[in-house]
Structure 1
Amino acid sequence: MARKNGRRRFGWVRKLPSGRFQASYLGPDGQRHNAPDTFAGERDADRWLVQVESVIMRHEWMNPNRAKVSVQEYAERWIAERPGLRPRTVHLYGWLLTKYVTPHLGAVQLGQLDTPMIRQWRARLLAAGVSESMTAKAYRLLRAVLMTAANEDRIIPRNPCQVRGAGSENPDERPVLTVAQVFELASRMADRRYRAFVLLAAFATLRWGEITALRRMDIAPDASAVRVAGAFVELPGRGLVYGPPKSRAGLRSVALPEAIRADLLAHLDEFTASAPDAWVFTGQRGNPLRRGDFNPRTGWKKAVADLGVPHLHFHDLRHTGNTLAARTKASTKDLMARMGHDSPRAALIYQHATTEASREIAAGLSGLVERERGGGKDDDDGSAGVLVPVG
C-alpha cells in the first residue's frame, strides 16, 4: 500500500499544473529522486512508488543519477582504468570507440540504452558498409564496457547488449601451406636475411611482434629452441614499443625442428651482431624490423604470387605452423604452450580442423559403408547393398 491512515507511507506524489502527477522518493543515498516520467493518474504514481520501495527493500536499488553518464565518457574511462591492457590493445579499443561507437551512441546516457537501440546501432553500421567482422569487434567492446557498468559498478540493472550473434565473427578460411611451400617461400625471399624469418614464423608459430623482438641471447647455442621474452607493437605516433607478449602464456620457450636449425644458425653468423642483446632481425639501419620495411625488402607480394597463393598474409605462416603442429597429434595442453595461448579454445580449433583428421573421418565412414555392403551380400532376404541406419 502506498498510503497509511490517509498519509503516503513511502515517497511523495504531487499534481502538476499540466494535470499529470509526479512521484519522488528519498533514496538510500539520502537524496530525493524523481520518477523519470510523469503519470496520468495518482494511482499510477502510487504503483511506481511501491515498485521502487520493493527494489530498495531487496537491496537492489541503483542510483539513477549515476546512469546519467554518457556512453563516451564511461567507455573512455573504462579503457583508461582497465588493468593489464597492452598498448596495442588500448589503441585498438580507442580506435573502435571513436570510429564506430561514439558517433552513434556517444552522447546517450547509460540509463537510456536498451536492446532495441543497440540492435539499431549495429544495423546502421552494417548498412553503412562496415564489415561484419569489424562490426562484431565494436559490439564486443561495447558489450564488455556495459557488462562492467551492470555487474561491477551497478550503474545499470542489466547489460542491454543482448543481440543474438552480434559478437560472432565468421572470417574467411585462411590458406594453409604445405611443408614444401613453406621452404619454397623462404627461398623466394628477395633478401636472404629473411629466409630464417619465414621459417621461424611457420615452424615455431611465432607472432610478428615476437619474431622482431628476438635477441641473440634468446636463441639456444645450437638453435634447438627459441625463447619468447617480449614483443614489439607498432603504435601511431609512438613507433615500435617493446613490451610483454600478447598474454602471460606468451612467455615461453619453443623447441625448433632440426630441419630449420642450420638456416637459423647461418642467419646468426651472417646477419646478427655478436652482442648477446643484438636484435636477430633488423631493418636497413640495424634497428628492429618494422612492417613497412618487410614487404618492399623481401618481395613478399611477388613471392606469394609466384607460389600460387597471392592472398597469403604473413600471419598465415603462424596459422600454418599451428595446423602442422596439431597434425602431430599433440595434446591440447602442449599445443597451448607452443602457441602461447592461455585458453584452450584456439588449440581445440586446430586439433579438430586438420585435413588429416577430416580424411581419417572420411576413411572411417567409407569403412562403415563397405562393412554394411559386405554384410548384406551374405543375407538371404535380398537386401544386399542396402545401408541400414544405425541408431
Structure 2
Amino acid sequence: MKGNLTRRGKSSWRLKFELGVDPDTGKRLTRYHTINGTKAHAQAEAAKIIASSVTGSYVDHSRETVAEFIARWLQDWAATNTSNKTYQRYEQILRRHVVPHIGKLALQKVRAADVQSIQAKLAKAGLADRTRLHVHRVLHRMLKHAAQWGVVQQNVAGLIDAPTVVGKEIDILTPAALKKVLSSVQGRPIYSVAITALGTGMRRSEILALRWQDVDLDGAVLRVERSLEQTKRGGLLFKAPKTRHGRRTITLPASLVTALRAHWKAQQEQRLMLGLGKAPPESLVFCEHDGSPRSPNALTKEWSTLMGKASLRATFHSLRHTHASTLIASGLDVLTISRRLGHGSPAITLGVYGHLFKTDDRAASIMDAALIGTE
C-alpha cells in the first residue's frame, strides 16, 4: 500500500493514502495526515502510518480530548461494568487528578511523558503514594479500553512504572485506648454498633446490613449475608458479598450476646412507643427510629466527631483491626482468622496482619526429630 507525501509549507507535509474499501458502500477510503518536521522525519512518520494501515493497527485521526473520552468511557463502560461505589471512585479520581492536568489534550496526542508528569505533579502536591497508585491504575484501565476500541494505538500508561506504595501501620487499639474509646460512646446508639464491630471483626457496611433473622442469640452465632453500600450515584443499596468467603458464619462472645439482647429489647420498646409494633425478622439490627437503614457515611462522621470530642485517635475501622490482632495474639491460626474476617484468602490476611504473627522457633528442632530416623 503506497502513499503520497507532498510539501505544504516550510516544515509541513501532507500524507495521502488509501486505507482500503468501505465494505458497506464499496468506495475507496482515503485518509490524510499532516506531519510537521523535516522531510526525513515526515518520510519516517508516513512509513509508520502506512505500515499500521497494513497491519490493522491504524487509528483514524480524532480531536477528541482526554476529558471528552473520560466522559464517554464512564458512560459507555464504567456505568455498566462496575458497582456504584467503584464508578464513583473512578469518576472522582479522573475528575480531580487527571482532567486538571491533561483534560484539554487530544487523547491521541497523550504520551507516556504526559502520564508521568501527572504523577510528578501529584507527588509534589503531597498526595499519598496509595492515592497516586489508584490514579495510575484507573488511567491505565481507561487507556487500555481506548486502545481496544481503536481510539489510540497503544496504552501509554503501560509504558511508565506504577508508584510504589510503602505499607503503613494499621490502627490497633491498646487495652487502655480501647477502654477510653468504648467509654466515650457508652450510652449512645452507636455503642452497640461499636461492640459488634469489636466482637465480630465485621466491616461497617456488613454491620449496618445485618438483620435480626441473620442473628441467632441462643446459638451465639450470626450470619453475614450482605452489606450496605452508599454512593451519590446509587444512594443506599444492599449488596451481596464480593466473594464467597464474604458470606460467612461468625461465633459471638458471650458479652456481645448479652449486649445484643439488651439492644433488641430497647429497640422493641422504642418501636412500640412509636406505634410501629414488634420488629419483623427481616428488620435491621441497627437502623433509624423508623426502621430505615443507617447511613454508613453518617455513622463514620458521628464516630469521628465523638472521638474528636474525647481527644482520641481511633477510626471505626480500627475496631476490626483490634479484633484481628487480639485473635492473632491468642495464637489462633491464620485460616480461621481469615474466614472470620471474610477475606478472599489467607494471603490477604497475612498481607495486612502478617507482621503480628510471632515467629515459631521450633522449626529446627522439629526437623531434627523427623530426620533422626533417616540416618
TM above 0.5, one fold? yes
Which residue, 332, 341, 351 being the options, matches 1:349? 351
Counterpart of 1:173 in structure 2 is 169
Matches within 5 A, 1:133-148: 133-148=130-145
Match of 1:277 in 2: 282
- Contact kept? 2:211, 2:283, Cα under 8 Å: yes
Runs of at least 5 residues in structure 1 that lack an aligned partner in the other structure: 1-8, 369-391
Q: CA deviation at 1:314?
A: 0.4
One-letter code aligned to 1:288: P
1:274 CA drift (Å):
2.8
**More displaced 10-residue stretch of structure 1: 214-223 or 97-106:** 214-223
My pick for the range that moved more, 109-118 or 255-264, is 255-264
Instruction: Name the residue aligned to 2:251.
Output: 256
Equivalence for 2:160: 163
Contact 2:17 2:32 in 1 (8 A): yes
Q: Do 1:62 and 1:155's aligned partners in 2 also have CA atoms closer than 8 Å?
A: no
Q: How does 1:1-391 map to 2 (within 5 A)?
A: 10-18=2-10, 20-28=12-20, 31-41=29-39, 45-57=42-54, 59-65=55-61, 68-80=63-75, 81-82=77-78, 83-150=80-147, 152-161=148-157, 162-166=159-163, 168-170=164-166, 172-178=168-174, 182=178, 185-186=181-182, 188-191=184-187, 193-222=189-218, 224-236=220-232, 240-245=235-240, 247-249=242-244, 251-259=246-254, 260-271=256-267, 274-283=279-288, 286-290=291-295, 291-292=297-298, 296=302, 300-301=306-307, 305=311, 310-326=312-328, 328-332=331-335, 335-342=337-344, 345-354=347-356, 356-357=357-358, 360=359
C-alpha spacing 1:339/1:146, structure 2 compared with 1 (3 Å): farther
1:343 to partner: Cα distance: 5.9
Equivalent position SS for 2:218: coil
Residue 70 of structure 1 and its aligned partner are, at CA, apart by: 2.0
Task: Please give the alpha-carbon distance, in whole angstroms, between the structure 2 residues aligned to 1:299 and 1:17.
Answer: 67
- Structure 2 alignment gaps of length 5 or more: 23-27, 269-277, 366-375
SS of residue in 2 equivalent to 1:37: strand
Show CA shifts across 1:188-231 (max 9, x none).
Answer: 42325444322221332222122112111121242533223332
Cα distance between partner residues in 2 of 1:84 and 1:246: 17
CA contact (8 A) 2:73 2:142 kept: yes
Distance in 1 (alpha carbons) for counterparts of 2:342 and 2:50: 52
Higher Rg:
1
Q: What percent of counterpart residues are identical?
A: 19
Give 1:296 shift.
5.0
**Structure 2: which amino acid aligns with 1:40?**
T
C-alpha separation between the residues in 2 aligned to 1:180 and 1:228?
30
Q: Contact 1:69–1:110 (CA<8 Å) still a contact in 2? A: yes
- Which has the higher mean CA deviation after the structures are superposed, 20-29 or 323-332? 323-332
When residues 222 and 350 of structure 1 are mapped into structure 2, their CA distance, relative to the original with a 3 A threshold, is farther
For residues 83-118 of structure 1, give each alpha carbon's deviation from its aligned partner in whole angstroms, at most 9, with x where no partner exists: 442222222222222222111111222211111111
Cα pair 2:229 2:239 within 8 Å, conserved:
no
Contact 1:322 1:350 in 2 (8 A): no
Q: Any idea what SS the aligned residue of 1:27 has?
A: strand
Contact 2:286 2:293 in 1 (8 A): yes
Offset of residue 348 of structure 1: 2.7
What is the RMSD computed on CA atoms of the aligned residues?
A: 3.5
In structure 2, how many angstroms separate the alpha carbons of the residues matched to 1:297 and 1:313? 8
Cα 1:136–1:158, aligned 2, differ >3 Å: closer, same or farther? same
What one-letter code is carried by the residue in structure 2 that aligns with 1:312? A
Paired residue secondary structure (1:234): strand
Size of the alignment, in residue pairs?
Answer: 344
Q: What CA distance in whole angstroms lies between the structure 2 residues aligned with 1:85 and 1:253?
A: 24
Measured in 2, the distance between the counterparts of 1:243 and 1:21 equals: 59
SS of residue paired to 1:120: helix
Instruction: Kindly provide the amino acid, as one letter, of the partner of residue 221 in structure 2.
Output: A
| 2:98 match: secondary structure | helix
1:31 Cα deviation (Å)?
Answer: 2.9
- CA distance in structure 1 between the aligned counterparts of 2:38 and 2:64, rounded to whole angstroms: 29
- Report the CA distance between 1:280 and its aligned residue: 0.8
